[in-house]
Amino acid sequence: MDGFAEKYTIKSDGAACSDNIIIDGDLRITVITPQLIRIEKGDFCDLPTQTVLFRNLGRVEFSYNVIGDKILVRTDSCEFCVLKSGRLLSVKLADGRTVTDFKSGNLKGTRRTLDVTFGKVKLGDGIISRNGVAVIDDSNSLTLSEDGSICPRSRCACDIYVFAYGFGYQSALKDYYKITGAAPLIPRFCLGNWWSRYWRYTQQEYLDLMNTFEQKDIPLTVACVDMDWHWVDVERRFGEKVKDYPKPKNPIAKITGSFWNPGWTGYSWNTELFPNHVEFLKTLHEKGLMVNLNVHPAQGIRFFEDMYPEFAKTAEEEGFTEIAALFKMVAEIEKEHEERFKKLLGNIQKGLVFSREGDTVWICSNCGRIHVGRKAPEVCLVCKHPQSYFDVKAANY
């Protein structure tokens, strides 16, 4: 992981040019370009966000007037009318049009993901509009700290960007990329051949397969290892019960719903299939392959993950003693569960769940009938329930 943070930290500079800022109480207006302004209401934010990385595109010539509860901002291209409440009232464009409806005519943007969708999907608003003005709401974006980590925002009632480019769609897109940063280009290896198959390979099987590709002169650049690189059958190994997931709401979700099981998420290597993952990855890299591990980050980091004890240690070091103690207690409880379920699994495999070496008192959990013997009866003589209803009777009083 050496150099990971440095490699993937996004370069940014969120502070705007101080000459381009208007402040009235808890309202701040920043003129970014003659056709693009930012309106903030509440706590002001100079940090970059998940959407906007740069706000200083140089000094902009503008003037403004405060008229009652309104602030008029004029540039050589537009006139923006903003209420002191933070609401955008109107925009007068260079072609003479005055726009007050900022929703209709929007030519829309993108959608975050097409996972479990069926048919038409709703797109978010974009930066260009037939009416000449588009508004992007950045109020709910998280902020980026200096080291690139994501942080929650402070109180913010409003943080919007007003793109008033009329029909200058290319200019709007150009300036949008100036504040968000250019779209990252994929590495060259991504354009090569990938081997990706949902299959439960062992470490040696996978390496043998890569050797076969080499022998047949089939070039690969990426080796994908699907989700079986981590523990998947967690109920068998760790005794975790299948959780109740929300019922699927559309046909696609009903089809894919069967994949959502306790082992859907994982971060610890399956040492049964990959006994030496360090050597495995080293061998693939020596073959000139980039390695992709399939991860579904849906269920968090749970008690059986290798790094779970580190959570308690880190929480304690950071002063969260109560949370640290909770992590430790949960880990101890789940360790006991793991051992108990392993013993249960062993008894199931040996056929010893409903039998003991000596005479044992069994009780039917349905009707309460008592049976004494080495094995529980196949069927309860009283209520006719099967053997699975019998438990070892224990004093609890």
Which segment of 193-202, 249-258, 346-355 scores lowest on mean pLDDT?
A: 249-258
How does DSSP classify residue 203?
A: H
Contact indicator for 143, 133 with CB cutoff of 8 Å: no
pLDDT: which is higher, 284 or 341: 284
The domain locations on the chain are 4-180, 189-293, 308-350, 355-392
Q: Cβ distance 163 to 127 under 8 Å?
A: yes
Question: Rounded distance, CA 13 to CA 282, Å?
Answer: 37
Tell how strand 222-225 and strand 194-195 pair up: parallel
Q: Is the pLDDT of residue 114 over 70?
A: yes
Give the Cα separation of 281 and 308 in Å (integer). Answer: 23
The more confidently predicted of residues 316 and 240 is 316
Nearest partner of 79 among 159, 133, 130, judged by Cα: 133
Q: What pTM value is reported for the model? A: 0.63
Give me 391's structure tokens: 């438990």
* Nearest-angstrom CA–CA distance, 229 and 396: 44
**pLDDT of residue 248 exceeding 50:** no
Task: Please give the average per-residue pLDDT across 88-105, as a whole number.
Answer: 95
The one-letter amino acid at 33: T
Ranking 110-124, 162-176, 336-350 by mean pLDDT, the lowest is 336-350
String of DSSP letters for 204-254: HHHHHHHHHHHHTT---SEEEE-GGGB---HHHHH-PPPP-PPPP-SHHHH
Burial of 265 (0-12, 13-18, 19+ CB in 10 A): buried
Checking 205-210 for CB contacts under 8 A at 24+ apart, the result is 206/280, 207/280, 207/283, 207/284, 210/284, 210/287, 210/289
Beta-carbon-side half-sphere exposure of residue 113 (alpha carbons within 13 Å): 2
Pick 254 or 129 by higher pLDDT: 129
- CATH 1.20.1440.230 matches 355-392: no
CA distance 135 to 125: 8
- Sequence-distant (≥ 6) Cβ neighbours of residue 333 within 8 angstroms: none
Band (pLDDT 50/70/90 cuts) for residue 292 is very high
- pLDDT above 70 for 272: yes
Least confident piece of the model among 88-97, 133-142, 254-263 = 254-263
For all residues of the chain together, what is the average pLDDT?
85
pLDDT in tens, 132-181: 999 999 999 999 988 777 888 877 779 999 999 999 999 999 999 999 99
Please state, for a pLDDT cut of 90, what percent of the chain lies above it. 53
